Structure 1
């Protein structure tokens, strides 16, 4: 293994991909700084899965037990019918439930990664990159605070709307809109709540979900079909108004969510799509995670791509004396996996967003039939138990760079 103590690396973004990359780079001897626009860690967010190869990365980092301890306790997936009844139930052991062995709130994973890296990685909060000037042997960086510094490498890990990416790649990465807007918020838990992921489909192409967390609250999400430009660049107040309009008359727990909108300060509201970039690197600047290849929450693989990509990039940079050779080797390993993950089944998401009451009824009936014991016994004959392959590499090889 090469010694990299002289190489300074700047990472933009302190969510999941950034700190994971920082951990491995520091492990290999790089001097690593993370700059984060927010004044502190962003600890909000919804349920995410640390499964497949991401679980292997977590194990190699020594954080698997911490993630397991922060598990949400989710029991599985329930489809809720139009009268509030359980139309179908898939326990978490079922491969179709969507609930994984390591189910955790995004903010909890961010906190775990920060605790694991803060002794060996420098964090700059409340600042961001405003300009990058590449030289043959370094990158001169100017920050919003007025600070300047030079680094051998700069990596954007600051999400779908990465401003760092914009500085280098411009409009080159393509955002493919999938027809959906979604919103997330945290609401108080009631005695009537349970520990299932509850999925409610309403008419007019609307879906509402409630999921438990570890803090005694509920994570609510709302998704609906809309034109791409319909709700861009809205203020927080306007976003709440749109959500109230979309939830009007939807039934089930929607009135509760409408009331909560007046009380919560933070609501995530954005359109859903995939980031597809013809290249991930330019000179000494690159990008990983959602900034480079967001697969959308529809795949359930965003955390997997973030952690696996970070592990592989750090390993290739440590294994090659030349960063360009490392970038090439990384992309050869990672791009086929990204392209496979980003493939969506035909008709997604439209098939699960029916417009009419009849369409909703048909969808719930199909879910109930599929969840029935005779069908599930048949499925188990041809499908391995979820727990038997939860930590397999799942289509990509994770070399042991040591």
Structure 2
């Protein structure tokens, strides 16, 4: 049975959001910014949610790599990965090929190829759509998936609920805004978004970091949360919010989908910049977002160790670079992260302040 036959298509709600985006794609952005009307779509609110400390404590230490494939996975004959079907860069559903494509998909295929070297890796992978952020952890706990392969930040808060692989992509949080008629952003950066509505997905580190940001003038953005980042993008296009904030790698895909939007261009205030893993001075990241795959806390250690082994292989570095060139062109990370220090205990101790690691 092929992965495409096993894989459920995106939900009706998500398809509706994507269809609305397509309809809005030809609409011109307002010439000047206007105060955002109240956010009304179902599931939208301005009350902060959970994961309030996740974005300030990144986790890069994982378990030691082990080349031994987990017997339980081999005996079952498939690896089940939870993915986001609407993440254009990391794991989107491609209607033309009827299969998942993206940066994370390429890495999951590398893991499946290492587990079953003689087989087509897509015939051994099953992809299931999961909600963003911590929402996927419930499916993980229930055994519905083996690994969360979304654009997931590894944080100390989350390390109390799941096991993380080594960091496989360094990213950071920034903001997507509408363009003016002359092509410039309506808001240049976070410092101009004090008192403005900025949207992020529920139960994500992105939402917590918006709520905690204070501009130089003392104003805070007004955090608006919706079930999914795509919902935030639709609201931005409709003028209901002034910005969408999440990891740079996700927002790159949004900007490609909707050419009348753009990433902000100005850095946040100096003490909020997070540029240790950013490759040049044009840094708009205001958080440090190491990306890792997540596994069940109770019985996932063998799979974590094997995935860490796969990530450390030279052939995976080739896959990583080819996937980065294809899906994340323009993302200003410093390259594939080198394996960090290992830990034999979990949750790992709080990390020291970030220092850049050289790319492989």
TM-score with structure 1 setting the length: 0.26
Query: Whose helix proportion is higher, 1 or 2?
Result: 1
TM-score normalised to structure 2 length: 0.28
Bigger proportion of residues as strand: 1
Higher relative contact order (CA 8 A, sep 6+): 2
**Is the radius of gyration larger for structure 1 or structure 2?**
1
